[in-house]
Amino acid sequence: MTTRRGFLLSTAGLATAAVAADGPAHDANLTVFLSDVHVSPSIAPDDSYQLDSFRRCVDGILAMRPLPARAVVFGDIALGKGMTADYEMSRPEFMRLAAAGIKLHYTMGNHDHREPFLRVFPESAADLRVKGRFASVVNLGHCDLMLLDTLDETGGREGTGNIVSGAIDEAQLNWLEDEVSRARRPFVCGAHHSPREASLAMDDGQKRMALQKLKESEFYMGWVQGHGHCWFKGFNASSSTNLLATFRLLGLPSTGLWGDIGYAVARSFEDRLEVALHIDDFYYPRPARDGEIRPRCWDENIKEKKGDVCVFPTRMA
The model's pLDDT over 97-122, given as tens digits with 9 standing for 90+, comes to 999 999 999 999 999 999 999 999 99
pLDDT at residue 12, as a whole number: 42
Residues 261 and 305: their CA atoms lie apart, in Å, by 11
Q: What pTM was computed for the model? A: 0.91
Q: What is the pLDDT of residues 268-308, one digit of tens each?
A: 999 999 999 999 999 999 999 999 999 999 999 999 999 99
DSSP letter (8 states) at residue 254: B
Q: Are strands 246-251 and 232-237 parallel, antiparallel or unpaired?
A: antiparallel
Residue 292's identity, in one-letter code, is E
Residue 9 scores a pLDDT above 60: no
Helix boundaries (H) for 82-202: 84-99, 114-120, 170-182, 195-199
- At 157, the pLDDT band (50, 70, 90 cuts) reads confident
Letter string b/e over residues 281-290, b meaning 16 or more CB atoms within 10 A of that residue's CB: bbbeeebeee
Residues 182 and 176: their CA atoms lie apart, in Å, by 10
Residues 248 and 232: their CA atoms lie apart, in Å, by 10
The answer to whether the beta carbons of residues 192 and 150 sit under 8 Å apart is: yes
Q: How many helices (H) and strands (E) does the chain have?
A: 9, 12
High-pLDDT (> 90) share of the chain, %: 74
Residues 90 and 299: their CA atoms lie apart, in Å, by 28
Give 222's strand partners: 188, 248
Q: How far is CA 292 from CA 50, 59, 283, 302, in A?
A: 19, 27, 13, 19
Give 249's strand partners: 223, 234
Residue 159 scores a pLDDT above 60: yes
Nearest to 95 by CA among 85, 104, 106: 104
The answer to whether the beta carbons of residues 297 and 171 sit under 8 Å apart is: no
Q: Up-side HSE of residue 77: CA atoms within 13 Å toward CB?
A: 30
10 Å CB burial of residue 70 (0-12, 13-18, 19+) is: buried
CATH number belonging to the domain at 25-313, selected among 3.40.250.10, 3.40.50.720, 3.60.21.10, 2.40.110.10: 3.60.21.10
Length in residues, the chain: 317
Higher-confidence residue of 215 and 241: namely 215
The answer to whether the beta carbons of residues 104 and 73 sit under 8 Å apart is: yes
Residue 17 scores a pLDDT above 60: no
Q: What is the pLDDT of residues 180-231, one digit of tens each?
A: 999 999 999 999 999 888 775 555 555 556 677 788 889 999 999 999 999 9
